[in-house]
Amino acid sequence: MTVKYIDLRSDTVTLPTKEMREAIYNAQVGDDVYGEDPTVNRLEEMAAEIMGKEAALFVTSGTQGNQISVMTHTQPGDEIILEEKCHIITYEVGGIGRLAGVQAKLIRGKNGIMDPSDIEAAIRGEDIHFPKTKLICLENTHNRAGGTVIPMDILKRTYEVAKKHKIPIHMDGARIFNAATYLNQPVKEIAKYADSIMFCLSKGLCAPVGSLIVGSKDFIARARKFRKMLGGGMRQAGFLAAAGIIALEKMTSRLREDHENARLLAEGLSEIPGIAIDMDTVQTNIVICDISGLKLTASEFAAKLYEKGIRVNGGNSSVVRFVTHYWIKRDDIEAAIEAVKSLCKA
């Protein structure tokens, strides 16, 4: 017997759609390490076109895409600038130290967004003691800050700072289509303020596996070699790319629905005593709740909610995260709010 849960832990739990499963079954494939998989080639061409860049590379995961990008932009011993709570720092197993051999210069953002003047102040000048600042990493939308979007004026100013100092920008755009939806802009308009971008097919876009990195032809050629080094040369990867093509064709224009559901959820939850939500950060498909007003840890809260058929992410802190996605409907949101209400009453 399968029990059906309302799974709000992450948009990574999204299963592929029927259309994706059919595309996977019917995909034409070849050896991608030889450059001979027509479906991977098509996905990479589409991705480059959508992002307004010269070339793209299909990678196994967002983490692999970020790590390859950092390796491609830097040399061991360089320094890179990142926001202190970004995914690369928090959730990528220390890869930038181990794989790229770079040092991190962390900046505290406001809701995950770094002030361009703080970035400029962190860039190293010439001194015998100093490493070279070789990269600025941005995260859009910002995961731990609750899916917040970098405002266009801040993005432009950051880009100007980067150009002035001749330092490239890598954007961790795992959810860049959520950012584009929020800003009501074609994704190209965001991508043009970064030299390389990683984005995920496997989150809100529902593909089972995979991410892409985009950038200049030269950047992608060098990145391809690092992908091989990390074991990401995937042979008949067209079966995965086939779902990715559907993700790009069909799934990017419906994200607004997830954002509306997240807002509805946040409004409902914020009325419950003991739960605090900073509504300014509820911009896309993530809702971060501070439950320190309840006498429960986040993992106890998550366990109790699980008994009521709702799955959420909670750790040792008092922060619980809810994420909306394709498989979550309005009814599920109402059910989740009711479940939290009854849990808090008990």
Ligand X SMILES: *Cc1c(COP(=O)(O)O)cnc(C)c1O
| Residue 148 interacting with ligand X (CB under 6 A) | no
Taking CB under 6 A as the criterion, the residue among 133, 211, 284, 285 binding ligand X is 211
> Is 86 or 344 the residue whose CB approaches ligand X more closely?
86
Sign of the CA dihedral running 171, 144, 66, 243? negative
State which of residues 78, 83, 139, 195 lies at the interface with ligand X (CB under 6 A): 139
Please report which residue ranges of the chain form alpha helices under DSSP H. Answer: 18-26, 38-51, 62-73, 87-90, 95, 116-122, 152-164, 176-183, 187-191, 217-229, 238-246, 255-270, 298-307, 330-345
The pairing of beta strand 6-7 with beta strand 310-311: parallel
Residue 172 sits in the site that holds ligand X (CB under 6 A): yes
The residue (of 44 and 139) whose beta carbon lies closer to ligand X is: 139
Which lies closer to ligand X via its Cβ, residue 64 or residue 297?
A: 64
Angstrom distances, CA of residue 33 to CA of 164, 178, 229 = 37, 31, 12
**Overall residue count recorded for the chain in this entry:** 346
Smallest gap from Cβ 139 to ligand X, in A, equals 5
Taking alpha carbons only, the member of 26, 40, 22, 61 closest to residue 200 is 61
Query: Going residue by residue from 29 to 68, which x/- string records binding to ligand X, judged by CB under 6 A?
Result: --------------------------------xxx--x--
Binding mask 233-272 for ligand X (x = CB under 6 A): ----------------------------------------
242 touches 20 (CB < 8 A)? yes
User: Binding residue for ligand X (CB under 6 A) from 53, 73, 87, 325?
Assistant: 87
- Contacting residues toward ligand X, per CB under 6 A: 61-63, 66, 87, 139, 143, 172, 174, 200, 202, 211
